Chains A and B, each alone.
Chain A
Amino acid sequence: VGEKKFHDEL
């Protein structure tokens, strides 16, 4: 589970 995915939500 990568760092990049963390802020893909609003």
Chain B
Amino acid sequence: MNAFRLLADLTHLLSIIILLVKIRTTKSCAGISLKTQDLYVLVFISRYLDLFTRPLSLYNTPFKLVFLATSITIVYYMRYHKVVKQTYNKDSDTFKHYFLILPCAVLAFFINPKFTFIEVLWSFSIYLEAVAILPQLVLLQSSSNIDNLTGNYVFMLGAYRALYLLNWIYRFFAEDVVRWIPWIAGLVQTALYADFFYYYIKSWRNNERLKLP
């Protein structure tokens, strides 16, 4: 465990808390892509099936349970809560997210640390997580104004994987750890946020409302 890793996981947790606060206090999920949230449920379920096969960890296990529970809660709110579901921008959430799943599954089938059920699912979840933000970014681009909580949510969600990159660099030098699958996927994941980061920081510095061109 190093500071980058801890900060990364806390940032990830904070992003989810921000989203839950937005949904619960404003009773609105405007600007949030249900498709991205659906993909996160799939990511966490496929990655954390190892809860049943691996020994429990005081650090990882609570995080895994929280990520599973919160992602399912968010999707539940967006689909079934009688007030929240009416605020969902269904018509702007147009990305064909199902088309992301098959290529990730094929990739996981061929590129994995070991050809076992758990390892292939783990690889699938790493690949899918890398691209799961795409529907959300497309939705933001079609929104004329992005509220602060939504902007902060997406920023924290992107920052988390960027911090993992620093953690991997640290571990490479300090612990000789080499992990090509998460490294490359994490790099792609972070790169997808580059545009968003640019406009987020620009609007923050100019004290303006965030808007993507």
Which of B16-24, B149-157, B174-182, B196-204 participates in binding chain A?
Answer: B174-182
In the complex, chain A residues 1-10 whose Cβ is within 8 Å of any chain B Cβ: 1, 3, 5-10
List, in ascending order, chain B residues with CB within 8 A of A7's CB. 50, 54, 122
Asked if A8 contacts B178 (CB within 8 A), the reply is no
Give Cα A9–Cα B50 distance, bound, in whole angstroms: 12
Which of B9, B54, B114 touches A10 (beta carbons < 8 Å)? B9
Which of A3, A5, A6, A9 touches B5 (beta carbons < 8 Å)? A9
Give Cα A6–Cα B54 distance, bound, in whole angstroms: 12
Q: Verify if B193 is at the interface (C-beta below 8 Å from A).
A: no
Between-chain CB contacts (< 8 Å), 7 pairs? A1-B177, A3-B114, A9-B5, A10-B9, A10-B60, A10-B63, A10-B64
14 other A-B residue contacts (CB within 8 Å) besides A7-B54, A9-B182, A10-B60: A1-B177, A3-B114, A5-B177, A6-B113, A6-B179, A7-B50, A7-B122, A8-B60, A9-B167, A10-B9, A10-B12, A10-B63, A10-B64, A10-B67
